[in-house]
């Protein structure tokens, strides 16, 4: 059935949020292009059944159910083998994949195999005539590129968190079992072990960084920042004085002399915004400054400013974020 | 282990914002007069290749595609760091091309170089950030593929690599030949060449090929994808002050972050 | 055989043995020194001789510590004068009662000898007081035993001399003694003592004197006493190139880059280590040592001497290279931290009475680390990489090189303009917003004075100075040659710069590669423009200012006055000097490439400097270097100091009133 195929992942035994986001992304296109939506559901374990239901809840008409013990986290080769079968069967015009660990490997490879057009790391999707207009960040977030995708088939990888979880739109869909014969031993790559280091997100790679400055006043202050970082799923960094004073490890220092980071979100707490510090964070997409001095130079750089004492602002923020996440 | 490392030269990504401009004709960053550097993670890839070579022997070839006049420094640096040879594919248009297009040229070049166990690329280029080169090359070369790795160890004829994932790290066993994309890690901080290596680099062989040599015809854009527009978002970084009591300020910020899809 | 003959023969034998032993030791030292290579700069004789006279005979360096200077002057001149008595005593061995011809019996000369015997003894007493009571750090940490031994010897030589002179007078065979008032007074004590006893005392004193003198002779070529011999030549051969210039290396031909073994230094470096008298003055003034760092410029010399002696002995004995026993010079003898802590501020060089150059040796070892091993602190490495890729060391700079020109009129040579003067901005001023007001002030002043000047704009790249101090001579030379070509292309002959580091590099280092320019520091030009009446400050600033001497303007280039003349010309300003000013100034902490890396042991050098500023009570610390401005600004903020740095150009511009 030619249409939009999303790749839904239940590699961990259940389906995660990013697959649902894909249904939202696909809906942006499905309507204007009047294409039906199907999903290749890849994974293993008991959560698969639930995943099928969820997909149908969000408007997926056909679910190609690929279940196999080899379809485990990080097993891109197995996923690709499954997708090979699904696309042969479904002949989709558009394939949408979440640009996660597996997706960023699989999307280009699938595009290559299908001789399809490719757009990666897409943040928003629209339709112009028959063309899909995909927007994404380039040049470290300094610019936004709009790609016009005219060819069919096309593979599009979507940045996780770029799309909201849409409103449910239940359909009574069909499920097609895809029978897979994957010999794990024959796959060229095999995940041997996985290590979760969530707690220790490295500064360099963190998508959210909470930076503390001299205004944080000491190691106790940084405890508050660690709570904030944990709530945001990010890492804590610092300006130079805290590193100097030994409140935090030297590896935390951000700036001209320290690390250069480009997270999605940088929260500067008790940092004045000296050039040497800003040098290390100017690549951040969004900057929030919390400072008790409304004249602090950091505010000329920040997108959002909170004037106040961080000892009150930060705990309030932690509480609100937790509430928002719980919802 | 014979390794080919793909290096791309980009305009210095740390250039101040003032200096950043888009050329409306090419819809790419203005390159004229701007410092060019090897794309950040490509240097990590080269470092990893050199470390593997130090442990297991073999040869490291630096491969770069770009306007020939511009890539001299990148090639010189790669050779000085320890690459044994370099191949330059001259393509004045390469800064405007997308990954799919360039991958076919690079794959042709790699086939022409011949023997290899491993091809390394950066996990993303500092400018266009497509993150697609390694998977493309893996397909074109019929090799295994793992992206965003930061460590690699040779284990009886295969490799064991550490891939960065959402949760942390995964250890992945990879058969050779393989194409891997490399991210940064303390252990593969690009080395500073020694002066004698810089001198020696001047005598290392550099092959100059053209796109035409490789039989890659000018497709003029990548298979049905066209860059329509590149715009600099209005940095009306007029800070928005969030007013009120701490709880209200926090509430307002959470709403903004959700709108930005950060939360 | 007559008793005289026998005495003569014994003395001759002793003398021969002692001289032989001494000569052998000296010859070894000479061969150790010659293990190093490098040129032997005999020219310009006049200037070198005058240095010799001023510094050695005149003791100018030693006098930087008054009491030490005085006591050493007594002992040193005492030895010069009393060489005559020593010769006489030896003469007496052969001809009883022999004195120097012509002057030996002149009453004034004899008096002089007597006076110096006393002065030397006073000097010894002062030295003992200093060591036992005052106990300055630099002496307490010295080899104390050797010091007391030598003081003992001097006392022995002097008392035995005095006794032999006195008893000689008492015995009545000193027809020369007319002027010897001291000796005669001592002779008075022997009145009423029987002749044979006096005779015995005379003989004993005479033999003891000869014995100590000869033993001393064999002892000189060891340890720090060697300076008696090496210091003269060392001062004579002192670096003739300008103080601020480091020596160029021929990268293409050099077999090894930099120094990692005792024998890798130049012969002059080796002579330095044998001329070091371990006085510790260098360490006493070193800003790194003073802020609790490991760097110790005295130990640099004493340990190098130990290494050169131990390793050199094996080399001279032609031990095969791989069998030579030695610790790693870089890493073990001197840790990497030790080497990276040097600010190349030159305080040690300024102070050293032996004429030693500490910076050359440290940079030599840095060159090894950087060019042979590519091992250096990460942030320095980033700075060097940035210089290579972007032409400036400020990785991540938030502004472009010409951003500061927004809103000011400046000719751009890179855009086709021509001008008589090149205003060289330098990376520290151009790429750090903190310094933009200084640049704009300078430009307004130059306009006000009607100067014809322009900037190179985007054609300017770093002079290479940080690379050279950090030890990457290769990168420095690449950039120097590139800049010289650029300057040639634009026909630049006269340069004014706000940065003393650029100033030093253009003036003292580019000539090594054929770049000859007339180079002015902005404070020099401003002083000149004020004196010519082309700038007339009128507004009064009414503030207390202290001036921080930049190392590369002051000590390295001898310019202490121009900035002070500019400050003096600003109405209303009262200047207060810091205790550590002019040639005793204390580095801001940025020199030697340490702007990009500062060891976190101990206090920050910049914070220490901020304390010096605070001690003056000044409201403003006037600066004349963009690096100093950055460092002192940061330190003032960190220590909550009230006095903030302001460049002299900015102070002057403020006093020019609106519209100037
Ligand atoms: C050579 C050199 C290299 C340097 N490299 C770096 C570098 O790599 N990284 C770096 O960060 N700096 C670097 N610096 C230092 C830099 O110039 C600044 O001094 C430093 O960044 C200032 O840090 P800060 O903003 O934390 O402190 P400050 O400038 O002291 O600012 C503290 C801020 O906290 C605010 N504050 C105080 N109390 C509270 C409160 N209760 N609640 C909320 N806000 C509060 C104050 O209003 C103030 O704005 C470098 C400097 C030099 C000279
Ligand atoms: S140059 Fe300055 S920092 Fe270096 S050893 Fe001499 S006094 Fe110390
Ligand atoms: S190097 Fe010079 S100043 Fe330092 S201890 Fe030796 S003689 Fe004294």
The answer to whether residue A194 sits within a structural domain is no
Q: How confident is the model at residue A66 (pLDDT cuts 50, 70, 90)?
A: very high
Partners of chain A (3+ Cβ pairs below 8 A) = B, C
Contacts of B35 in chain C (CB under 8 A): 389-391
Angle in degrees, CA B11, B12, B17, rounded to 5: 100
Higher pLDDT, B188 or C568: C568
CATH (domain of A25): 3.40.50.620
| CB within 8 Å: A279 and C396 | yes
Q: Do C398 and A280 touch (CB under 8 A)?
A: no
Question: What is the model's pLDDT at position B219?
Answer: 52
Q: Which of A232-246, B111-125, C38-52 has the highest mean pLDDT?
A: B111-125
Which CATH code is given to the segment(s) C380-530?
Answer: 3.40.50
Mean pLDDT, chain B, rounded, equals 90
Determine the pLDDT at residue A250.
Answer: 66
Distance C556 CA to ligand 3 centre (A): 18
CA distance readout (Å), C483 to A211, C318, C477, C516 = 40, 46, 10, 12
Instruction: Evaluate: CB of C238 within 6 angstroms of ligand 3.
Output: no
Residues A148 and A261 in one domain: no
A196 — pLDDT class (breaks 50, 70, 90): low
Subunit contact B16:C397, Cβ cutoff 8 A: yes
Q: C262-372 in CATH: which number?
A: 1.10.1060
- Tell me: do A209 and A179 sit in the same domain: no
Q: For ligand 2, what atom is nearest to the CA of residue C343? A: 3
Cα–Cα dist C106/C100, whole Å: 10
- pLDDT at position C560, please? 97
| A14 and A106 part of one domain | yes
Locus of tokens 């070579």:
B53
Specify whether A23 is located in the same domain as A154: yes
Contact (CB, 8 A) for A171 and A39: no
Contact A109 B173 (CB under 8 A): no
pLDDT at A283: 72
Residue nearest to atom 7 of ligand 3 (CA): C276
Tell me the per-residue pLDDT of B247-256, one tens digit each, with 9 for 90 and over. Answer: 999 999 999 9
Range of the domain at A267: 200-325
C374–B14: do the CB atoms touch at under 8 Å? no
- Any idea of the CA torsion for B207, B210, B215, B217, to the nearest 10 degrees? 160
What are the residue ranges of CATH 3.40.50.10700 in chain C?
A: 535-656
Query: Is the pLDDT score of B77 beyond 80?
Result: yes
Query: What would the pLDDT profile of C27-85 be if each residue is shown by its tens digit?
Result: 999 999 999 988 777 777 888 888 888 888 878 888 888 888 898 889 889 988 888 88
Residues of chain C with pLDDT under 50: 659-660
- C396:A241 CB<8 A: no
- Any idea which architecture B3-214 has in CATH? 3-Layer(aba) Sandwich (3.40)
Q: What are phi and psi of C497, to 5 degrees?
A: -135, 150
Chain A residues touching B225 at Cβ < 8 A: 117-119, 147-151, 154
Q: Do B223 and A324 touch (CB under 8 A)?
A: no
Q: Is C222 on the interface with B (CB under 8 A)?
A: no
Closest-CA residue to A51 (of A100, A96, A14): A14
Q: Given CB atoms, is B33 within the 8 Å cutoff of chain C? A: yes
Q: Which ligand places an atom closest to the C-alpha of C230?
A: 3
Considering only CA atoms, which of C215, C214, C190 is closest in space to residue C201?
C190
pLDDT for res C39? 78
The reply to whether A181 and A307 lie within a common domain is no
- The residue ranking higher by pLDDT, C660 or A290, is A290
Predicted model pTM: 0.84
Contact C434 A280 (CB under 8 A): no
The answer to whether position A191 is within a domain reads: no
Amino acid B3: pLDDT: 97
What token pair was written down for A191?
A: 């995940």
Distance from CA of A151 to the nearest CA of B (A): 4
Q: Which chains touch B (3 or more CB pairs under 8 A)?
A: A, C
* Ligand lying nearest the CA atom of residue C299: 3
* Cα of A272 from ligand 1 centre, angstroms: 5
Query: Residue C278 Cα, ligand 3 centroid: separation in angstroms?
Result: 5
Are A107 and A168 in the same domain? Answer: yes
Chain C residues with CB under 8 Å of a chain A CB are 379, 394-398, 432-434, 596-597, 600, 634, 638
Could you tell me if residue A136 is inside a domain?
A: yes
Q: How far does residue C499's CA lie from ligand 2's centre (Å)?
A: 20
Residue B234 in this model has a pLDDT that exceeds 90: no
Which CATH number covers residue A292?
3.40.50.1220
Asked, for residue A15, whether it belongs to a domain, the answer is yes
Task: Report d(CA B202, CA B193) in Å as an integer.
Answer: 13
Crossing angle of the two packed helices C107-129 and C144-171, in degrees rounded to 10:
150
Q: Does B203 touch chain C (CB under 8 A)?
A: no
Q: Residue B134 above 80 pLDDT?
A: yes
**Band (B87; pLDDT cuts 50, 70, 90):** very high
Which of A202-216, B210-224, C544-558 comes out lowest in average pLDDT? B210-224
Q: How many domains does chain A have?
A: 2
Residues A65, A131: one domain? yes
DSSP E strands in C59-197: the ranges are none
Task: List the domain boundaries for chain B.
Answer: 3-214
Q: For residue B242, with 0-12 CB atoms within 10 Å meaning exposed, 13-18 middle and 19 or more buried, which class applies?
A: buried
User: What per-residue confidence (pLDDT) applies to B221?
Assistant: 46
Please answer yes or no on whether B196 and C398 come within 8 Å at the CB atom: no
Pocket around ligand 2: residues whose beta carbon is below 6 Å from it?
C 286-288, 295, 297, 342-348, 358-359
- Provide the token pair at A61: 């008409």
| For residues B183-209, average pLDDT | 88
Q: What is the mean pLDDT of residues B15-22?
A: 80
Class of CATH domain C3-236: mainly alpha
pLDDT of residue A199 exceeding 60: no
Instruction: Report how far Cα C349 is from the mean position of its chain's Cα atoms.
Output: 1
Q: Which residue from A3, A215, A173 is spatially nearest to A96, judged by alpha carbons?
A: A3
Which residue of B133, B223, B256 to mutate against A (max A Cβ within 10 Å)? B223
C535-656: CATH topology is Rossmann fold (3.40.50)
Please indicate whether, in this complex, the C-beta atoms of C394 and A257 are within 8 angstroms of each other: no
Residue to mutate (ligand 1; options A221, A255, A268; most atoms within 8 A of CB): A255
Which pLDDT value is given to residue C660? Answer: 41
Residue B41 alpha carbon to ligand 1 centre in Å: 30
Pinpoint the residues of chain C covered by CATH 1.20.950. Answer: 3-236
C284 C-alpha to ligand 3 centroid (Å):
10
Smallest-distance ligand from the CA of C363 = 2
Identity of the residue in A244, A257, A278 whose CB atom sits nearest the CB atom of C379: A257
Task: Examine residue A298 and state whether it is found in any structural domain, yes or no.
Answer: yes
User: CA of B196 to nearest chain C CA: how many angstroms apart?
Assistant: 7
Q: Which of A241, A274, A279 sits opposite C397 (nearest CB)?
A: A279
A260 C-alpha to ligand 1 centroid (Å): 16
pLDDT tens digit sequence for A110-142:
999 999 999 998 989 999 999 999 998 888 767
Does A179 share its domain with A286? Answer: no
Rounded to the nearest 5°, which phi and psi values hold at A113? -65, -35
For residue C363 and ligand 3, the question of a CB distance below 6 A is answered with no
* Sheet containing A143-149: order of strands: A124-128, A131-138, A143-149, B225-231
Comparing A76-85, B24-33, C56-65, the range with the smallest average pLDDT is: C56-65
- Ligand 2 pocket, mutate which of C282, C338, C343 (most atoms under 8 A from CB): C343
CB-based contact (8 Å) between A270 and chain C? no
Rounded to whole angstroms, how far apart are CA atoms B69 and B208?
A: 11
Interchain CB distance below 8 Å, C396 and A257: no
Q: Which pair of tokens denotes residue B252?
A: 């307002």
Are C404 and C436 in contact by the 8 Å Cβ rule? The answer is yes
Distance B250 CA to ligand 2 centre (A): 52
**Gap between the Cα atoms of C210 and C215, Å rounded:** 8
User: Is the distance from the beta carbon of residue C279 to the nearest atom of ligand 3 less than 6 Å?
Assistant: yes
Question: Which tokens sit at A78?
Answer: 């197995």
**Ligand 3 neighbour C443 (Cβ under 6 A):** no
Q: Clarify whether residues A84 and A17 are in a common domain.
A: yes
Asked if C395 and A282 come within 8 Å (Cβ–Cβ), the reply is no
- Taking a C-beta distance cutoff of 8 angstroms, is the pair C517, C475 a contact? no
End-of-domain residue from the set A160, A186, A212 = A186
Same domain, A149 and A205: no
Range B93-112 average pLDDT:
93
C223 in ligand 3 pocket by Cβ < 6 Å?
Answer: no
**Interface contact flag, B13 A147, Cβ < 8 Å:** no
Q: Whose CA is nearest to atom 7 of ligand 2?
A: C286
- Within this chain, do residues A14 and A144 fall inside the same structural domain, yes or no? yes
- Report the residue from C371, C374, C403 with minimal CB separation from B191: C374
One domain, residues A20 and A163 = yes
Q: Compute the mean pLDDT over every residue in chain A, rounded to the nearest whole number.
A: 89
Nearest-CA distance A209 → chain C (Å): 18
Q: Do the domain assignments include residue A193?
A: no
pLDDT higher at A65 or A243: A65
């Amino acid at each position: 059935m030619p249409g939009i195929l999303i790749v839904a992942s239940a590699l961990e035994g259940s389906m995660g949020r990013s697959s649902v986001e894909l249904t939202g992304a696909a809906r942006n296109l499905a309507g204007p292009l009047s294409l039906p939506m199907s999903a290749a559901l890849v994974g293993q374990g008991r959560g698969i059944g639930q995943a099928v239901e969820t997909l149908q809840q969000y408007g997926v008409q056909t679910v190609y159910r690929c279940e196999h013990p080899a379809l485990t986290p990080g097993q891109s080769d197995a996923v690709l083998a499954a997708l090979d079968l699904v696309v042969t069967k479904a002949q989709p015009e558009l394939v949408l994949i979440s640009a996660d660990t597996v997706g960023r490997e699989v999307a280009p490879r699938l595009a290559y195999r299908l001789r399809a057009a490719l757009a990666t790391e897409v943040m928003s999707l629209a339709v112009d005539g028959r063309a899909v207009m995909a927007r994404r960040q380039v040049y470290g977030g300094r610019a936004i590129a709009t790609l016009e995708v005219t060819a069919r088939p096309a593979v599009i990888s979507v940045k996780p968190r770029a799309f909201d979880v849409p409103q449910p739109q239940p359909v009574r869909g069909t499920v097609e079992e895809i029978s897979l014969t994957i010999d794990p031993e024959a796959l060229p790559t095999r995940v041997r072990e996985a290590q979760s280091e969530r707690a220790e997100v490295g500064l360099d790679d963190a998508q959210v960084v909470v930076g503390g400055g001299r205004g944080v006043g000491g190691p106790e202050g940084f405890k508050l920042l660690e709570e904030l970082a944990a709530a945001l799923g990010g890492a804590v960094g610092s300006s130079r004085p805290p590193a100097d004073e030994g409140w935090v490890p030297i590896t935390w220092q951000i700036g001209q002399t320290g690390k250069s980071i480009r997270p999605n979100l940088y929260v500067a707490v008790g940092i004045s915004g000296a050039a040497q510090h800003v040098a290390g964070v100017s690549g951040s997409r969004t900057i929030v400054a919390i400072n008790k001095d409304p004249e602090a130079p950091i505010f000329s750089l920040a997108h959002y400013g909170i004037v106040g004492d961080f000892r009150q602002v930060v705990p309030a923020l932690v509480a609100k974020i937790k509430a928002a996440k719980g919802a | 282990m014979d390794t080919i490392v793909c290096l791309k030269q980009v305009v210095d990504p740390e250039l101040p914002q003032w200096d950043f401009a888009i050329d409306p004709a090419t819809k790419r960053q203005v390159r004229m007069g701007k410092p060019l550097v090897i794309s950040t993670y490509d240097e990590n890839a080269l470092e990893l290749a050199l470390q593997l070579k130090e442990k297991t022997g073999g040869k490291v070839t630096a491969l770069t595609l770009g306007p020939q006049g511009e890539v001299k420094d990148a090639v010189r640096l790669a050779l000085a760091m320890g690459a044994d040879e370099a191949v330059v594919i001259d393509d004045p248009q390469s800064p405007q091309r997308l990954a799919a297009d360039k991958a076919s040229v690079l794959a042709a070049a790699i086939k022409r170089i011949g023997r290899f166990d491993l091809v390394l690329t950066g996990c993303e280029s500092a400018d266009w950030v497509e993150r697609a080169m390694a998977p493309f090359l893996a397909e074109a070369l019929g090799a295994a593929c793992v992206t965003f790795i930061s460590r690699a160890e040779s284990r009886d004829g295969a490799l064991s690599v550490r891939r960065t994932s959402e949760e942390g790290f995964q250890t992945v066993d990879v058969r050779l030949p393989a194409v891997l994309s490399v991210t940064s890690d303390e252990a593969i901080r690009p080395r500073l060449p020694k002066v004698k290596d810089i001198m020696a680099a001047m005598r290392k062989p550099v092959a100059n090929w053209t796109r035409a040599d490789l039989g890659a015809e000018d497709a003029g854009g990548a298979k049905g994808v066209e860059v329509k527009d590149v715009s600099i978002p209005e940095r009306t970084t007029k800070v928005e002050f969030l007013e009120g009591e701490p709880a209200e300020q926090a509430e307002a910020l959470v709403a903004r972050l959700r709108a930005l899809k950060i939360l | 055989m007559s008793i005289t003959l026998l005495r003569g023969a014994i003395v001759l034998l002793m003398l021969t043995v002692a001289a032989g032993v001494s000569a052998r030791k000296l010859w070894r030292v000479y061969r150790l020194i010659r293990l190093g290579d490098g040129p032997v700069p005999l020219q310009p004789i006049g200037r070198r001789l005058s240095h010799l006279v001023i510094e050695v005979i005149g003791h100018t360096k030693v006098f930087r510590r008054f009491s030490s200077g005085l006591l050493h002057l007594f002992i040193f001149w005492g030895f010069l004068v009393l060489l005559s008595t020593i010769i006489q005593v030896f003469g007496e061995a052969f001809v009883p009662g022999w004195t120097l011809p012509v002057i030996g019996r002149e009453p004034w000369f004899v008096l002089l000898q007597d006076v110096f015997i006393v002065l030397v003894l006073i000097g010894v007493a002062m030295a003992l007081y200093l060591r036992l009571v005052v106990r300055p750090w630099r002496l307490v940490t010295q080899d104390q035993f050797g010091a007391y031994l030598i003081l003992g010897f001097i006392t022995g030589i002097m008392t035995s001399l005095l006794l032999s002179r006195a008893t000689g007078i008492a015995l009545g065979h000193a027809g020369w003694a007319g002027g010897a008032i001291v000796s005669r007074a001592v002779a008075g004590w022997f009145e009423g003592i029987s002749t044979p006893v006096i005779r015995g005392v005379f003989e004993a004193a005479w033999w003891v004197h000869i014995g100590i003198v000869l033993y001393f002779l064999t002892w000189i070529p060891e340890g720090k006493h060697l300076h008696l011999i090496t210091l003269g030549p060392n001062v004579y051969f002192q670096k003739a190139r300008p103080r601020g210039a480091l020596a160029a290396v021929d990268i293409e031909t050099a077999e090894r880059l930099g120094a990692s073994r005792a024998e890798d230094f130049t012969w002059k470096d080796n002579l330095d280590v044998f001329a070091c008298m371990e006085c510790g003055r260098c360490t006493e003034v070193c800003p790194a040592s003073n802020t609790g760092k490991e760097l110790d410029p005295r130990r640099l010399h004493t340990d190098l001497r130990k290494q050169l002696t131990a390793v050199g002995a094996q080399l001279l004995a032609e031990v095969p290279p791989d069998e030579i026993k030695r610790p790693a010079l870089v890493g073990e003898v001197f840790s990497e931290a030790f080497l990276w802590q040097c600010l190349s501020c030159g305080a040690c060089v300024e102070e050293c009475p032996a004429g030693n150059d500490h910076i050359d040796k440290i940079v030599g070892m840095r060159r090894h680390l950087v060019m042979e091993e590519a091992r250096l602190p990460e942030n320095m490495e980033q700075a060097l990489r940035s210089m290579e890729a972007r032409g400036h060391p400020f990785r991540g700079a938030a502004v472009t090189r010409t951003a500061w020109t927004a809103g000011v009129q400046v000719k751009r040579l890179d855009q086709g303009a021509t001008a008589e003067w090149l205003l060289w901005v330098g990376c520290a001023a151009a790429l750090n917003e903190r310094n933009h007001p200084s640049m704009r002030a300078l430009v307004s002043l130059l306009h006000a004075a009607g100067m014809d000047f322009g900037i190179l704009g985007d054609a300017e790249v770093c002079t290479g100075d940080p690379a050279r101090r950090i030890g990457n001579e290769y990168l420095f030379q690449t950039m120097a040659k590139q800049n010289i070509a650029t300057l040639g292309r634009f026909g630049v002959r006269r340069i004014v710069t706000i940065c003393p580091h650029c100033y030093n590099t253009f003036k003292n280092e580019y000539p090594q590669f054929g770049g000859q320019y007339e180079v002015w520091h902005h404070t020099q030009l401003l002083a000149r423009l004020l004196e010519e009446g082309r700038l007339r400050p009128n507004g009064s600033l009414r503030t207390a200012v202290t001036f921080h001497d930049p190392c590369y303007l002051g000590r390295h280039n001898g310019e202490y006055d121009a900035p002070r003349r500019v400050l003096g010309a600003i109405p209303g300003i009262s200047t207060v000097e810091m205790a550590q000013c002019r040639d005793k100034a204390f580095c801001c902490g940025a020199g030697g490439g340490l702007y990009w890396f500062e060891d976190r042991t101990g206090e920050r050098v910049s914070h220490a400097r901020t304390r010096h500023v605070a001690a003056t009570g000044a409201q403003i610390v006037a600066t004349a270097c963009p690096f100093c401005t950055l460092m002192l600004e940061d330190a003032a903020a960190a220590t909550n100091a009230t006095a903030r740095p302001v460049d002299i150009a900015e102070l002057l511009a403020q006093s020019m009133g609106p519209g100037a």
